[in-house]
Structure 1
Amino acid sequence: MSRSQRQRVAVMISGRGTNMGALIAAGMDPLYPGQVVAVISNRPDAPGLETARRYDIPAKAIDQKAYASREQHEAAVIAAIEECRPDVICLAGYMRLLSEDFVRRYEGRIINIHPSLLPLFPGLDTHRRALSAGMRIHGCTVHYVTDRMDEGPIIAQAAIGIEPGDTPQSLAERLLRAEHRLYPHALKLVLTGEVRIANGRAVLRTPARRRIGETDDPDLQVPPATPILVAPDARQN
């Protein structure tokens, strides 16, 4: 696949950007259907900005504190996005709520990764909440972004077992490894058109139901303790 045929991906971050790093790494494979062409952060001290620059990816901080209103800040973010002309926007730890106008502008082209098996535990502090609820499994979800927080159509999910003695920190660290496998896989589904939105759900072009732990995608080969669920609620159309 030539460089010109690959789709353009913009990533929005607020911190370390480890999931951004996984997307950058995936894009280094010339056969991957997309590549990260820009990174945007609402925080100038976000470590992920320097990570992107080390890979010669343009990285821009648009400090939310420098603007009098969210509308003004979002206008600057939109200007930066339009400049890099992305086909898809990936939120990777972007810790700022987006307005309805922003989301609708990029409807169907903006996705997010969330550290829980949605619709369980939307919002923050997901690892502690999963442990407090007595869950036996925990996981992460890649979904389309809509104007309702963490309620967009689910593209793909990954699950891990909760082990005796787990703390929110240990659970988060173990789940992060699954996130780094899942996000590039889910983005690939979007970039190739394997998944699309129909009647408010993410629908796969080909069957994708798997038993827990099953996958034929080499990028998702993980230990048995980290089973993968690929788009478990998708419906073939």
Structure 2
Amino acid sequence: MTKRVAILISGGGSNMVALAEDMVGDHPARPVLVLSNDPKAGGLQKARDMGIATAAVDHRPFGDDRSAFEAALKEELDRTGPDIICLAGFMRILTPSFIAAYAGRTLNIHPSLLPKYKGLNTHARAIEAGDAEAGCSVHEVTADLDAGPVLGQARVAIRPDETPETLAARVLPLEHRLYPAVLRRFASGDRSLVTLS
């Protein structure tokens, strides 16, 4: 049975586009919704142009009431009945209760070689630490931030003159290859590690 995928974004949605473009032909999944916390997110129009249903739940009117915001998110998600949720540049930290509602079926892409550099400013932190390489990871989402089982990683060497901006630009194409590869395998019921370089 073809899996139904909802993709959550906050911005331009380049990883969402990579995922959606891959979900064709004999792929075991199809995108059924692109959902954003920002009604002006550029990725929403890209999704509409691809024929994917979209929705937005603006987090700002909810202030600090994360449970009310997440209840509204959940309402939009549950309307489409997704089997898998892909966080693709979704810049809101989700509460344990929200994550529990979709446990075992939520993926996220993170721009570091987890377990290194959870959270933000990952490329700068890798350079400052003198690491020889950086990259990105796809992991299962759990209640602990960026701490769920790693399902895929892609690596790139850090150059002597690297800046956070140049490293981010070099890692992004790897994200666009890795996330679709992991989703394809995950939707087939295979959680073995995907590695790219």
Give the structure-2-normalised TM-score.
Answer: 0.96
Contact 2:7/2:88, CA 8 A, preserved across alignment: yes
Indicate the residue corresponding to 1:224 in structure 2.
Answer: none
More moved, 30-39 vs 144-153: 30-39
| Greater C-alpha Rg | 1
Mapping of 1:109-124 within 5 angstroms?
109-124=105-120
What's the CA shift for 1:166? 1.3
Q: Which residue of 1 aligns with 2:137?
A: 141
**Is the partner of 1:143 in helix, strand or coil?**
strand
Shift of 1:49: 0.6
In structure 2, C-alpha distance between the alignment counterparts of 1:190 and 1:167, rounded to whole Å = 33
**Mapped contact 2:36–2:90 kept (Cα < 8 A):** yes
Pick from 5, 10, 16 the counterpart of residue 20 of structure 1: 16
Name the Cα RMSD after superposition: 1.3
CA distance in 2, matches of 1:74, 1:194: 29
Q: Distance in 1 between matches of 2:5 and 2:109?
A: 15
The one-letter code sitting in structure 1 at the alignment partner of 2:37 is N
Paired residue for 1:163? 159
| Deviant stretches of 4+, over 3 Å | none
User: Which residue does 1:50 correspond to in 2?
Assistant: 45
Partner residue of 1:131 out of 127, 131, 139: 127
* Equivalent-residue separation in structure 2 for 1:141 and 1:112 (angstroms): 8
Q: How many angstroms does 1:61 deviate by?
A: 1.0
- The answer to whether 1:184 aligns with 2:176 is no
* Equivalent-residue separation in structure 2 for 1:120 and 1:132 (angstroms): 13
Aligned to 1:35: 30
Give the counterpart letter for 1:35 in structure 2: R
How big is the shift at 1:66? 2.1
Task: Summarize deviations over 1:101-126 as a string: whole Å, max 9, x none.
Answer: 00011000101000000000000000
AA partner of residue 126 (structure 1): T
What pairs with 1:172-211 in structure 2 (closer than 5 Å)?
A: 172-195=168-191, 204=192
1:95 counterpart (91, 95, 115) = 91
AA at the equivalent of 2:30: Q
Q: Once the 2 structures are TM-superposed, how far is the Cα of residue 209 of structure 1 from its aligned partner?
A: 8.6
Equivalent position amino acid for 1:34 in 2 = A
How far apart are residue 67 of structure 1 and its match?
Answer: 2.2
Unaligned runs of 5+ in 2: none
Between the aligned residues of both structures, percent identity stands at: 44
Q: Which moved more, 1:5-14 or 1:146-155?
A: 5-14
Comparing both chains, which one has the higher relative contact order based on Cα–Cα distances under 8 Å and sequence gaps of 6 or more? 2
User: In the TM superposition, what is the alpha-carbon distance from 1:164 to its structure 2 partner?
Assistant: 2.2
1:78 aligns with 2:74: yes
**SS of aligned partner of 1:117:** coil
Q: 1:31 corresponds to which letter in structure 2? A: D
* Contact 2:152–2:194 under 8 Å retained in 1: no
Q: Tell me the TM-score normalised to structure 1 length.
A: 0.80
